[in-house]
Structure 1
């Protein structure tokens, strides 16, 4: 039986779907453990992709409804819809920012912020900042994207996946893609290549290349280096004795991927949005991915191994990995 206490995610701290979901899921797992109610007022951009209930009609009308309308009109697939989504997201975040600022002024003593670093919710109640507030108040507010609760995510996996169930059309698209591959190939390997956002035009092509060369010393996530990804996938097949003729790589990325850069390999390119990419990757046998929150979340969702793309891969590290695990080479998640 749930108590009347509740945790409200007031601000998600920025970032795209997977960043927000790591945060959202971690806090929800804590609420499952404690019997609290959870509300996320900042999830308006991606709420139409899920069946998560919203209990505040006024908040729905002002912050969520525009995204539901856009989704009902066909989603964000077209160039025009994608542009409208970005413009709408910017506007809603601006307006919602004023609402969040007012709440923080009114309830200063009930705010828990992870802006300064990771807050682990699987700690004891004495160390958990939400518990300290809820010992004296009926509600607490969370801000920032670095709340983590891996013990709770393991314990309440079933409850989490029921609560965060995606809409049927997204599940169907992911299933159709992967099932089609399984009819032809023995091994289905998900590949996630994280690239700079398509609409980020603040830098030139040359500056973009240099930025990715220095970003966490991972130059191979930029399209200029798809040759690295190709070599990495071949090395994977060699080490794990996967017959290339029986192996299909399902490639997901936030930008276009030239299929001709993977000659002699059986590749299928996903053209879905980020929730469909997550479900697609999660349905594969394993994920080979960039050091990103989406790669790791797909691994957790499907309970499959994640192999991080590196210049000098530690293949031996993965030989005994059968399901999801906290990969020591994946730093973006902040395990």
Structure 2
């Protein structure tokens, strides 16, 4: 049994982490418990009716609520701190991945391993992608949004598709990104507009419509030169609406990466705002490549995407 006992980042990071563990569980016929998914469990088919956040889903699942899930998480943390189980800690010097994990061949012989550490989410990008790709279908089924959210997403996308040949999802990540990694990927709205102009040129013969998703209010008048629809700002619905677009654009973020994975849609990561965009720069999740650059000052550590 694998237990994810530490929280790593927000929604996108938690989803990618959990998905990676599920792929390993399927491959080795193991069970995963993820009490650290507590804040987001209520939104997804595989976890909403199972307070354990277990994969594979148990035959007799017990529903939970925020209070129960929080208590469950705290109990697991307490037991882990008491060293009840073997604990795998991840250091900052090297991101974690299953391929290089020293116990990967003997996982099935260990009764319980508790995982904690911030860097789980970084290792899956490269070495573990084939496994994630191999088991993508059951992972997507597990993380399908509950019906009320799906209905809202479908309604929004139906509106966006009206009189459009291609839908381009744009994730404007501001707010928290102004401080994240010293603002490395914080872009002004005007810079997003420049990227959108470049995208329009890529599809000069097509009728394009943009779906704008942002974690900060955007002034609609700034987008008057584009055929746009604004998402409602619900963090689950916006993510899964991006997954329904034909192409996705945004700064490096696990939020759009999950949308790309879930929807099997190519993603363009805005790493260099002055770069001329080519169609080949939109990359499917199973093609991602990158190098992790470790810095003593952790806030300066980053992934350099090479594809």
Q: TM-score, normalized by length of structure 1?
A: 0.73
Contact 2:30 2:108 in 1 (8 A): no
Spell out, residue by residue over 1:237-269, the C-alpha distance to the aligned partner (whole angstroms, 9 max, x if none): 11x13358x211101112212111112111111
Q: How does 1:94-173 map to 2 (within 5 A)?
A: 96-97=73-74, 99-107=76-84, 110-116=86-92, 117-123=94-100, 127-129=101-103, 131-132=105-106, 134-135=108-109, 137-147=110-120, 148=124, 149-173=128-152
Q: 1:19 and 2:46 equivalent?
A: no
Contact 1:188 1:284 in 2 (8 A): yes
Cα 1:230–1:52 change in 2 (3 A) is: same
Structure 2's unaligned 5+ residue stretches are 54-62, 293-300
1:181 maps to 160
Contact 1:25 1:153 in 2 (8 A): yes
- Distance, in Å, in 2 between the alignment partners of 1:305 and 1:291 is 13
When structure 1 is superposed on structure 2, of 318-327 and 264-273 the one drifting more is 318-327
- Distance, in Å, in 1 between the alignment partners of 2:291 and 2:189 is 20
Q: Which of 196, 200, 214 pairs up with 1:253?
A: 214
Q: How does 1:1-335 map to 2 (within 5 A)?
A: 6-13=1-8, 15-53=9-47, 54=50, 56=52, 64-66=64-66, 92=70, 96-97=73-74, 99-107=76-84, 110-116=86-92, 117-123=94-100, 127-129=101-103, 131-132=105-106, 134-135=108-109, 137-147=110-120, 148=124, 149-197=128-176, 211=179, 214-216=182-184, 218-220=185-187, 225-238=188-201, 240-243=202-205, 246-309=207-270, 310-316=272-278, 318-319=279-280, 323-324=284-285, 325-326=287-288, 328=290
Contact 2:12 2:254 in 1 (8 A): yes
Contact 1:10 1:142 in 2 (8 A): yes
- Distance, in Å, in 2 between the alignment partners of 1:247 and 1:329 is 33
Aligned-residue CA RMSD (Å):
3.2
Q: Count residues with an aligned counterpart.
A: 277
Structure 1's unaligned 5+ residue stretches are 1-5, 58-62, 69-88, 198-207
Structure holding more helix per residue: 1
